[in-house]
Structure 1
Amino acid sequence: MTRPPLAVVAGTGFYDLDALQDPREETVTTRFGDARVVHGAWHGLPVVFLTRHGSGHSVPPHLVNYRANIRALADLGVRDVLAVNVTGSIDPELAPGDLLCLDDFVDFTKQRPLTFFDGSTREGVVHTDVSAAYDPDLRREVLAAAATAGEPIRDGGVYAAFEGPRFETAAEIRLARLAGGDVAGMTGVPEVTLAAEADLRYAAISLVVNPATGVGDATEPITMAEIEAVLARSSTAVLAILDALVAARAAAPDPAPDPAPEEEA
C-alpha cells in the first residue's frame, strides 16, 4: 500500500530540505493560485516540502498565498502536515533556541484571506471547529520524536499571529501575553485553520529565535542578523526531530487499508 505523502512546511531559515532524496520540483495550480513544492523521499517515505516565503525569502508573510499552499497539499494527497514556525518569545522564560510543540493560537492578523469557504463554493458558508487545530495524535508523534532525538521541547504553547512584516510593538506583545500567548510569529495563521478546513492533520514546532519586543531585559532592536545567528545554531535540532519522526514512521508497519464498503443486497 502506498502511503500518502507527509508534508513539511517551513519558513524563515528553512528554504531547502537536504534530507530529501531525488528531489523534484512541481508547481501545483489551484483555484486560489499556484504553489511551488518539492517532492522527495525521506527514509523511503514520500515527503512534500513547501517553503512559505519562496526562493530566497522573496514573499513577505502577509503576502504568502496560504490558501493555495494548503489546497495544493490536499490535492497532492497529503493527510499530515508538519509545520515549522520561527518565533519571538512572549514568555520571558523562553530563550533563543528553545522549542515548543504548539497546541493553540490567538489571531491578531488583519487583512488575510482566512478561509476556503467565502460563500462562493458549493459548500457555502462553513463554520469549522478549531478546538484541536493542532492535532493531538500528530503532536504526540512530534514529542516522541523529540525524545528519541534527545532534543528538549515544551509540550504545548500558544502562538500569537501578527500581520507583519514589521515586528510587533511592546504594547502589542503585552496584549498578546494577556491573551495567553507564549510566542509571536507572522505565518502560523491562517495556515493552521486552513489545514483544519481541508481535513488535514497539522502540528507545528516553534523555534524561538529572539525575545519579542519589550520582553525581559532585551533593549536592543530586533535584527535579522540576530535571528539568522540563532537559526544557524538551532535549526539542526528541528531537523533532528523531523528526521526521528519520519524514521519512526518508516519503521512502522504499513497502515491497514480502509475496509471496502459492503455491497447492497
Structure 2
Amino acid sequence: MTSVSLAPLGIIAGTGFYDLEALDDAHTETVETAYGTTSVTRGSWHGQPVAFVARHGLGHKVPPHRVNYRAIIRALADLGVRDVIAVNVTGGIDSDVEAGELVCLDDFLDFTHGREGTFHDGDGPEGVVHTDMTTAYDPLLRGEILDAASSIGQPIIDGGVYVCFDGPRFETPAEIRLAALAGGTVAGMTGVPEVTLAVEAGLRYAAISLVVNPAAGVGSAEPISMDDLDAVLTSGAPKVIAVIDELVHTRSVFTADEGHGPA
C-alpha cells in the first residue's frame, strides 16, 4: 500500500455539539489567520485526521451574528482541509418536517445583514470575484452523507433549503411565512456565510440539519420553549454523530482498500 498523507476532514458544529468524544488523541490549538484566530480541535476518528470547530466557542459564548466565519473557514483551509461536514440545529419551516428529523441540505436563502460574508472584498490582487453558488452544498459530499445514513438505517431527508436569519432572537411568525413562500425548509442562524465562504475557499461543503422545533407560527401557537429544544437536541444529537461516524468509517475502509482517501 502506498503511504499517503490524508487531508483532515473538517467538521463544524454549533449548539449542543461542543466537542467530539469520538476523537482520539484530541488536542485544541489556536489557529491564526488573516481574518483573526479560531480554536480548532484536532485528532483522529477511525484513523482519519479530523479538524473540528465549535462555532460558538467553548461554553457557547459567541452569538451567531458575531461568529468569525471567515477565520473558521480560512483556518480549516490553511490546515489542509478539503471537505467540510457542517451540523446545524434548526427550526422547521416546512410543516411536514418534524422535530427530531435530519435534513441533508441542498440550497440556502440568506436573510442576514451586515455579516462579513466574503473573502473577496475587491482590494486583493484578484480584484472583483463573483463565485458561483449553484451547487454550494457539494453533491458528492452530500451523497456520502446520504449513503452513510442509509447504511445505518437512519432516516434523513434528501434536500432542503436552509434559511439563515441573524439571530440571536428567534424569528417572528411573519418572517417564517415569508421564508416559507420563498421555499424555505428550515430556519437557522449560522449556515450563511459559512457555506459561501467554504465555496470561495475551494472546499467541498455539505451540511446536516437537525430540526429541533417547529419555527414560529408553524403548527402550535405556543412560544418556543428552550426546554423542549434541549430535549429534542439531546435525543437527536446521537443520530447526527452516528451518521458522521459511519461516513468517517466508510472513508477509513476506502483508504485502507485503495491506499488513498476521497478527493
TM-score, length basis structure 1: 0.95
Equivalent of 1:255, from 233, 239, 260? 260
Aligned residue number for residue 23 of structure 1? 26
SS in 2 for 1:175: helix
Equivalent of 1:13, from 10, 13, 16? 16
The verdict on how the C-alpha distance between 1:213 and 1:256 changes in structure 2, with shifts beyond 3 A counting, is: closer
Q: Please state how far the C-alpha of 1:255 moved relative to its aligned partner.
A: 2.9
Equivalent of 1:169, from 163, 169, 172? 172
Residues 3 and 254 of structure 1 are in contact (CA less than 8 Å); yes or no, is this contact kept in structure 2?
A: no
Residues 67 and 116 of structure 1 are in contact (CA less than 8 Å); yes or no, is this contact kept in structure 2?
A: yes
1:209 matches 2:195: no
Q: Please state how far the C-alpha of 1:224 moved relative to its aligned partner.
A: 2.1
Residues 28 and 35 of structure 1 are in contact (CA less than 8 Å); yes or no, is this contact kept in structure 2?
A: yes
1:140 matches 2:110: no
Once the two structures are superposed, what CA deviation does each residue of 1:130-171 show, in whole Å capped at 9, x if it has no partner?
Answer: 100000000000000001121100000000000100000000
Q: Please state how far the C-alpha of 1:257 moved relative to its aligned partner.
A: 11
Aligned residue number for residue 87 of structure 2? 84
Quick one: percent identity of the two aligned structures?
63
The letter of the residue matching 2:12 is V
CA separation in 2, counterparts of 1:182 and 1:254?
39
Moved more, 118-127 or 186-195: 118-127
Equivalent of 1:242, from 241, 244, 260? 244
Equivalent of 1:44, from 39, 43, 47? 47
CA separation in 1, counterparts of 2:36 and 2:226?
29
CA separation in 1, counterparts of 2:64 and 2:21?
23
TM-score, length basis structure 2: 0.96
Which stretches in structure 2 are left out of the alignment for 5+ residues? none
SS in 2 for 1:91: coil
CA separation in 1, counterparts of 2:247 and 2:11?
12
SS in 1 for 2:31: strand
Once the two structures are superposed, what CA deviation does each residue of 1:38-86 show, in whole Å capped at 9, x if it has no partner?
Answer: 0000000100010000011000000000000000000000000000000
1:194 matches 2:197: yes
Which stretches in structure 1 are left out of the alignment for 5+ residues? 259-265
CA separation in 2, counterparts of 1:123 and 1:254?
37
Q: Please state how far the C-alpha of 1:254 moved relative to its aligned partner.
A: 2.9
